[in-house]
Amino acid sequence: MKFCSCIGHEQYIYVTHYVHTVFASVVDLMPPSIVGCPEDISATTTPNRVSTTVTWDPPSASDDSGQIASFFNNFNPGDVFPLGTTEVVYIWTDPSGNSATCSFNVVVIVGKSVI
């Protein structure tokens, strides 16, 4: 605000400055984006075997923050899986604590013997 008071030959100028500080915070609510989460996988062992090696293309994830703070998975491509159904889990977490999960089943059955 400016004010000028002129009395005779003297001038008085009063200047007041207002400073406003605005604080803004950005809250990241978006979880990481997953690409390539596999469908369930079926695998067959040979007769008299109780496990088999299973492979897949691993999924990946990216985040709008540009960073992944943590990553977890319980199995890797090329691991040996027992007979039955096993859940494979991948979890990515961004720096804000948002997480995304990819999970699928690996189902291992015994193949038929060839006579």
**Where exactly are the structural domains of the chain?**
28-110
pLDDT higher than threshold 50 for residue 3 = no
Give mean pLDDT, residues 59-68. Answer: 96
Percent of the chain with pLDDT over 90: 70
Contact 104, 47 (CB under 8 A): no
pLDDT higher than threshold 90 for residue 110 = yes
Domain 28-110 of CATH type 3.30.200: no
- In this predicted structure, what is the pLDDT of residue 20? 74
Residue reference for tokens 């999960």: 101
Task: Give me the chain's average pLDDT, please.
Answer: 88
The Cα 97–Cα 70 span in angstroms is 9
CA torsion through residues 46, 51, 52, 55, sign: positive
User: What's the whole-model pTM score?
Assistant: 0.76
pLDDT (tens digit per residue) in 7-47? 455 555 566 667 778 777 888 899 999 999 999 999 999 99
Q: How confident is the model at residue 2 (pLDDT cuts 50, 70, 90)?
A: very low
- In this predicted structure, what is the pLDDT of residue 12? 57
- In this predicted structure, what is the pLDDT of residue 1? 40
Number of Cβ within 10 Å of residue 84's Cβ equals 12
From the list 28, 45, 37, 44, the residue with the least C-alpha distance to 87 is: 37
The Cα 106–Cα 42 span in angstroms is 6
